[in-house]
């Protein structure tokens, strides 16, 4: 089962063991998240990259020694981790309490820090963990649950068809296929382009008593000439028509097995008549020949939903339609299959990673965006989009902006506008919160001196003051400071309390 991950990157074994023992004692063996401990930051980042969206928080040591005794700074990995998933909280843990180190952590995007020499550092670790896990579960808990469902909720019947689906409609299809596969009746598969008709036809063959026989296919759209398609199906004698050679047709070749006739609604009137005669007599007469041969072949036809309409307009022989339609199985379009876009996204991205030796991930908002599209090309179109994104997107994480750039999808945003606006608003709030917290940390470390805080952040004092004002902190602070001054002679204490009020306001 996939659960949130809490990652510690610490090169001192004694500390890793201390964290492990203390936290297991605090949270027990049945906790709803996993601990991971790494001594090497490169190894840890590689593991995060495999699936960054189940990582809630990373505790990072300040210094590491490589095998070649080279000093590496943990803060140099923060941006890489944030790039994989900017929601991951990164907490620096260090015995170095210098302003220079703090400035380095803040510049690289650390969310919080803990000093190793503090008596309360283990308590702080638990507090930060609890906060991060609460935030994580609110944002990603449902997504991880969906991913577990997508990968584990495929029924045994659907697995036998070797397709990917969690939709109830496809369970019905699977049951029909498995039940009909034991008979010799003709099957008519009705579905739009890309719904997987050939996969289902092959599954019907492989689960039948004919599974040891051959499975042959023909796409009726590939043959514009009536004589050629008849030759392909029934065979031909040399000289039967211009360019004709002695040829055994697919019906004979598939004897003892199954013949899948795709796009059957493209059969012309002559080919329809020959098929009707075959279904009545089960005999094959080659084009240009006179001898008839008995064949034992199971026929599976596939056509688009317009076939019934063609019958009503006398564009397709009614008798042939009803003989094809001994067992009819309708395959729903992808847009009508609840949960399948997400399940197929995970399946295709994992398959592409295996094929290419890559570690691509779909950002959760990307899956939500793909679910908004109506997929006229169905599963085949979704598969092609995922393949294209895996090739063209250079980053390990595929974002919604990549779908708009490379996907070539006309997504109707009318239902999505509110969602996207909320997303941007949320992003702006997060950025504002990060800026305010950055100023708060610098101000506190600078002993509540504005000039010192500006120096820590490496910006001019005037710029610091302008940013405080632009973020709307100034008035709130002044009001709280004044309130505290009335009850406390210590301005510094009042200012510190006002910052605590601001932080509480933000949280």
Residue range 49-54: average pLDDT?
Answer: 84
Q: Picking from 175-179, 213-217, 245-249, 417-421, which range would have the lowest pLDDT averaged per residue?
A: 417-421
**Assign residue 408 a region: left if phi > 0, alpha if psi is -120 to 50, beta otherwise?**
left
Per-residue exposure over 83-106, b if at least 16 CB sit within 10 Å of its own CB, e if not: ebbebbbbbbbbebeeeebbbbbb
Residue 31 pLDDT more than 60? yes
Name the CATH superfamily for 5-152.
Answer: Response regulator (3.40.50.2300)
336-406 has which CATH code?
1.10.8.60
In the chain, CATH 3.40.50.2300 covers: 5-152
| pLDDT band with cut points at 50, 70 and 90 for residue 118 | low
Percent of the chain's residues with pLDDT above 90: 38
pLDDT at position 507 is: 43
- pLDDT band at 84; cut points 50, 70, 90: confident
Contacts from 491-497 at CB under 8 Å and sequence distance 24+? 492/447, 492/448, 495/448, 496/444, 496/448
341-360 residue pLDDT tens: 999 999 999 899 999 988 88
pLDDT at 338: 87
Q: What digits encode the pLDDT tens for the residues 2-12?
A: 688 999 999 88
For 433-446, what is each residue's pLDDT tens digit?
777 777 777 777 77
Q: Which CATH architecture has domain 165-332?
A: 3-Layer(aba) Sandwich (3.40)
Q: Which two tokens stand for residue 141?
A: 């808990």
In the predicted model, is pLDDT for residue 427 greater than 60? no
φ, ψ for residue 228, nearest 5 deg: -70, -45
Mean pLDDT of the chain, nearest integer:
82
* Mean pLDDT lowest among 97-111, 216-230, 236-250: 236-250
Q: Would you state the structure tokens that stand for residue 303, as one six-digit string?
A: 């056509």
Delimiting residues of CATH 1.10.8.60 domain(s) in the chain: 336-406
């Amino acid at each position: 089962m996939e659960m949130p991950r809490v990652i510690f990157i610490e090169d001192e074994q004694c500390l890793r063991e201390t964290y492990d023992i203390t936290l297991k004692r605090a949270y027990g063996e049945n906790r709803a998240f996993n601990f991971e401990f790494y001594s090497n930051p490169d190894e840890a980042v590689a593991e995060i990259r495999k699936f960054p969206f189940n990582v809630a928080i990373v505790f990072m040591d300040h210094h590491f020694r490589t095998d070649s005794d080279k000093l590496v700074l943990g803060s140099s990995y923060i941006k890489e981790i944030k790039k994989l998933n900017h929601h991951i909280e990164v907490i620096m843990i260090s015995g170095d309490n210098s302003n220079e180190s703090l400035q380095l952590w803040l510049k690289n995007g650390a969310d919080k820090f803990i000093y190793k020499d503090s008596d309360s550092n283990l308590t702080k670790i638990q507090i930060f963990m609890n906060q991060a896990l609460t935030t994580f579960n609110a944002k990603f808990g449902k997504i991880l649950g969906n991913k577990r469902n997508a990968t584990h909720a495929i029924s045994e019947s659907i697995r036998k068809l070797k397709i990917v689906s969690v939709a109830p409609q496809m369970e019905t299809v699977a049951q029909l296929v498995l039940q009909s596969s034991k008979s010799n009746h003709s099957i008519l598969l009705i579905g739009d382009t890309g719904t997987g008709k050939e996969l289902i036809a092959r599954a019907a063959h492989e689960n039948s008593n004919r599974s040891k026989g051959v499975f042959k296919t023909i796409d009726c759209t590939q043959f514009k000439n009536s004589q050629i398609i008849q030759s392909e199906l029934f065979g031909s004698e040399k000289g039967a028509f211009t360019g004709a050679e002695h040829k055994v047709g697919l019906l004979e070749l598939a004897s003892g097995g199954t013949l899948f006739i795709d796009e059957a609604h493209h059969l012309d009137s002559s080919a329809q008549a020959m098929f009707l005669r075959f279904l009545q007599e089960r005999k094959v007469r080659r084009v240009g020949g006179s001898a008839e041969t008995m064949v034992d072949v199971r026929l599976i036809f596939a056509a688009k939903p317009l076939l019934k309409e063609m019958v009503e307009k006398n564009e397709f022989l009614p008798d042939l339609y009803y003989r094809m339609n001994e067992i009819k199985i309708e395959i729903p379009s992808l847009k009508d299959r609840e949960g399948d876009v997400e399940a197929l996204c995970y399946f295709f991205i994992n398959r592409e990673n295996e094929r290419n030796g890559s570690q691509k991930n779909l950002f959760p908002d990307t899956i939500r965006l793909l679910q908004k599209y109506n997929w006229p090309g169905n599963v085949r179109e979704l598969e092609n989009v995922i393949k294209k994104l895996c090739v063209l997107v250079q980053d390990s994480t595929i974002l919604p902006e990549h779908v708009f750039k490379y996907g070539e999808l006309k997504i109707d945003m009318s239902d999505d506008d509110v969602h996207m606006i909320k997303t941007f608003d949320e992003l702006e709030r997060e950025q504002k919160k990060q800026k305010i917290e950055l100023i708060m940390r610098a101000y506190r470390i600078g002993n509540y001196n504005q000039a010192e805080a500006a120096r820590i952040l490496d910006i001019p004092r005037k710029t610091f003051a302008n940013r405080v004002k632009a973020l709307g902190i100034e008035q709130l602070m002044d009001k709280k400071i004044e309130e505290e001054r009335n009850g406390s002679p210590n301005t510094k204490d009042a200012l510190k309390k006002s910052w605590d009020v601001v932080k509480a306001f933000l949280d």
